[in-house]
Structure 1
Amino acid sequence: MEKLFAYASLKNEDHQKDLFGRILEGTPETLVGYILKEIQIEEEFGLVHYPIINETNKTEDTISGMLYEVTKQELNQVDRYEGLHYRRVEVHLQSNQKAWAYSAAI
């Protein structure tokens, strides 16, 4: 199983049902050394703002989210869902666990 840190739309149960065919069971978790920013993505109906994590390396900067366990196949589904504007990065959580999260693909 793979660990996935979700801080935005991947926490949404409707998105989870569409993406995985199930609702994920997770635990609250904190990402340290990051802040949330926004990126603009041009969609068919115009520019849309989406949250994105940005590394600061400052311990006072934190993001609350959820930690889920998913299969490798489900993680690959998330890669496709996030598209070209996001990339999967390994992060270290407050609990000292490593997990995957999605950041801007710059």
Structure 2
Amino acid sequence: MEKLFAYGNLKEEDIQETVFGRVLKGVPQTLVGYVVKEIKIEEEYGIESYPIIEATENKNDTITGMVYETTFQELQLADRYEGKHYKRIKVQLQSDQTAWAFTAIT
């Protein structure tokens, strides 16, 4: 199983149903040394803002989210859902677990 740290839309059950075909089981976790920022992406209906995580190396910067157990195939579904503006990276959580999370491609 793979761990996926979600801090935005992937925490929503209706999104999970659409992306994975099921509601994921998760536990609250904290990501340390990161902040949430926004990127602007041009969509077919206009410019939209989307959250991204950005490393700061500052232990006082934290993001609260959820960690979900997923299969490798489900991670690939999440990659497709997040699209070409995001990439999946490994992050270290406050609990010392590692998980995948999405950030913007720079």
Give the TM interval when normalised to the shorter protein: over 0.9
- In the alignment, the residues of structure 1 paired with residue 50 and residue 84 of structure 2 have an alpha-carbon distance, to the nearest angstrom, of 13
Name the amino acid aligned to 2:5: F
Q: Look up the match of 1:5.
A: 5
Task: Deviation per CA, 1:35-93: give whole Å up to 9, x if none.
Answer: 00000011110000000000001000000000000000000011111111000000000
* TM-superposed deviation, 1:4: 0.1
- What's the TM-score once normalised by structure 1's chain length? 0.99
Structure 1: gaps (5+ residues): none
Name the amino acid aligned to 2:12: N
Name the amino acid aligned to 1:89: I
Q: Look up the match of 1:102.
A: 102
Question: Is it true that 1:38 corresponds to 2:38 in the alignment?
Answer: yes
Three-state SS of the structure 2 residue aligned to 1:91 is strand
Name the amino acid aligned to 2:67: L
Three-state SS of the structure 1 residue aligned to 2:83 is helix
Task: Deviation per CA, 1:12-52: give whole Å up to 9, x if none.
Answer: 10000001111011000000000000000111100000000
Task: Count how many residue pairs are aligned between Structure 1 and Structure 2.
Answer: 106
Three-state SS of the structure 2 residue aligned to 1:84 is coil
- In the alignment, the residues of structure 2 paired with residue 32 and residue 70 of structure 1 have an alpha-carbon distance, to the nearest angstrom, of 22
Q: Look up the match of 1:15.
A: 15
Instruction: Spell out structure 1 runs of 4+ moving beyond 3 A.
Output: none
- In the alignment, the residues of structure 2 paired with residue 101 and residue 79 of structure 1 have an alpha-carbon distance, to the nearest angstrom, of 10
